[in-house]
Amino acid sequence: MQLDDLYRQVIMDHYQHPRNRGTLDEGAISVDLRNPSCGDEIHLQLLVDDGIVKDVRFLGSGCSISMASASMMTEAIKGKSIEEAVDLAHAFRAMMRGEDVDLEQMGELEALQGVNKFPARIKCATLAWQALERAASVPTGGHVEEETLGE
Amino acid sequence: MNAEELRKDFPILSERINGHRLVYLDNAATSQKPRQVIDAIRRYYEHDNSNVHRGVHTLGSRATEAYEAARERVARFIGARSPQEVVFTRGTTESLNMIAHGYARAKLGEGDEIVLPPSEHHSNLIPWQQAARATGATLRYLPLQPDGTIRLEDVEAAVTDRTKIVAIAHVSNVLGTVNPVREIAEIAHRHGAIIVVDGAQSVPHMPTDVVAMDCDFLAFSGHKMLGPTGIGVLYGKAELLAEMEPTYFGGEMIDVVDLYESTWKEAPWKFEGGTPIIAGAIGLAAAMDYLEKVGMAEIERHDAALAAKAVERLAEIDGVTIFGPPPGQSRAGLVTFNLGRVHPHDLATVLDARGVAIRAGHHCAQPLMRLFNVPATARASFYLYNTEEDVDALVDAVLEAKEFFGHAIG
């Protein structure tokens, strides 16, 4: 087990300098999700217009993996259609299960692939993506509150 | 005692973890098992296995004898007046829930109070929240000092004639503080209240005498004291167990069953509906034999000395915060800490890569984490097979984590 496989430089960079951290004004979809087994939590907001993710912000607390994954996700989905964003979420979770995925589609997210060798940390990486999937099923302006991540 | 010698009894301690010697410091979560316990369970299944209290055949008698002998073993270990004060349960959580359900709900009413510290494990907190909601009673929290200790004068102020129950851990699973349960029991009794002691972190690590402590109920788990998972104990004073209602109904616990009503056996059997945890009880008895042979007072000194050394050395590392009693002040065999802004999960992953197993998270004490204003903490907890070498490995790994994250997190 190599720690450098897990803590790649790009991950540490996103952890130290999170992108799109903050909140959006009214009209955004909000999701609050937490992982009760470790206490990680995320508040994710999406501004969706005409089916396109126009803007995205997050707040939260958690380990480097969960916060870096959230930061990287916001960059990856901004400007994409909501369907493309959900597709990417599915692909990301498949990558976490150790399945073969199109690494080109993953782009920078490929740096998180090493997490799948650390079973205890996979949930950290997928928290933001599960929040995204929930957000995609909510109408504009809607809010999913304090939902708890199951097993 | 010689921890280095004792280690040979624990097969798992020869596991290599990520290429390193296993440094197991998550004993407050669960302990490892000596060969003597594993063998006792195997012996039972290979030679005596049968259901208890019903078979007329030879194996039925052997299993029943072994199960009831385990009850006597537990009674001796905690100094109970009689084995009938010992109820076998699945663990501390079930024991506490049984008290909150079968005893507390019938006793509590509007205006009554349950007094407890905010540092309790969720399993000694939520059952009381639920009992309060069901009965109109209220929870009253004791203040904690900055070092996590509880002052007796605050207990005196909080416990009144409205108090029906005082619920408290003997040793806090996060703070490592040893609460003065004997003195608190005296205060509770003066006001006609009962005291429920969560012994999950104390019974495995120090001599226990329920009569001297004068607790009314004591709950603890077998797996934290070298026993198997799935077995625990609810001790209750005989007169209280007699009043207490069973939580589960069915086979094994009944006296006479009629079409419209039934009667129960006496305690403790009325609380053990269904086929009991026979192999678990036998394994727990073997664990108690092992612990007593080493000596509980010895174990208490050993664990506390390692924790004291760990606290002292961790506190010297720039950026480490220690929760609970500061260095030099007495504490039980565990230490909870954080390293700067490094998240405890990240810290635990780096330590694991060096073979060091610690706990990272909220330790089932979310209200306490909120009091500390942290989402999570790291915890190292010691037991009889840990050595000073383990403390060195912990400190070295924390220093490595600091180095690893230092450039990124500062």
- In SS3 terms, A48-108 reads as EECCEEEEEEEEEECCHHHHHHHHHHHHHHCCCEHHHHHHHHHHHHHHHCCCCCCHHHHHH
Residue A150 reports pLDDT greater than 60: no
Q: What is the pLDDT of residue B235?
A: 98
**Partner B contacted by A121 (CB < 8 A):** yes
Per-residue pLDDT tens digits for B302-311 = 999 999 999 9
State the average pLDDT over residues A27-33: 93
Asked if A39 lies within 8 A of B404 by C-beta distance, the reply is no
Angstroms from A81 CA to nearest CA on chain B: 33
* Closest chain B C-alpha to A102 CA, distance in angstroms: 28
ipTM for this model:
0.86
Q: Which residues of A touch B366 (CB under 8 A)?
A: 39
Give the per-residue pLDDT at B257. 93
Q: What per-residue confidence (pLDDT) applies to A137?
A: 87
**B215 belongs to the catalytic site:** no
Shortest Cα distance from B329 to chain A (angstroms)? Answer: 30
Three-state SS at B167: strand
Taking CB atoms and an 8 Å cutoff, what residues of chain A touch B360? 38
pLDDT of A1 over the 90 cut: no
- With a cut of 50, which residues of chain B have pLDDT below it? 410
C-alpha–C-alpha distance, residues B63 and B44, integer Å: 8
Q: How confident is the model at residue A45 (pLDDT cuts 50, 70, 90)?
A: very high
Mutate to test the interface with A, among B349, B363, B374, B377 (most CBs of A within 10 A): B349
The predicted pLDDT at position A2 comes to: 78
For the cut 80, the answer to whether the pLDDT of residue A143 exceeds it is no
CB contact under 8 A, A38 and B409: no
Given the residues B322, B364, B368, B401, select the one marked as catalytic: B364
Cβ of B408 within 8 Å of Cβ of A3? The answer is no
Chain A nearest-CA distance from B375, in A, is 6
Give pLDDT tens digits for A52-89. 999 999 999 999 999 999 999 999 999 999 999 999 99
Strand, coil or helix: what is B164?
Answer: strand
Name the residue with higher pLDDT: B363 or A20.
A20
pLDDT at A149: 64
pLDDT confidence of residue B271:
97
Of the candidates B350, B376, B408, the beta carbon closest to that of A38 is on B376
Residue A151: the pLDDT is 42
Residue among A39, A118, A120 minimizing CB distance to B376: A39
DSSP for residue B264: E
Give the per-residue pLDDT at A146: 60
Q: Reduced to 3 states, what is the DSSP secondary structure of residue B343?
A: coil
> What per-residue confidence (pLDDT) applies to B409?
54
First to last CA, chain A: 25
Chain A interface, best mutation among B345, B354, B409, by max A CB count within 10 A:
B345
A148 contacts chain B (CB < 8 A): no
pLDDT at position A147: 63
Partner residue facing A124 (CB), from B18, B345, B375: B345
Beta-carbon neighbour count of residue B369 at 10 Å?
Answer: 19
**pLDDT score of A142:** 73
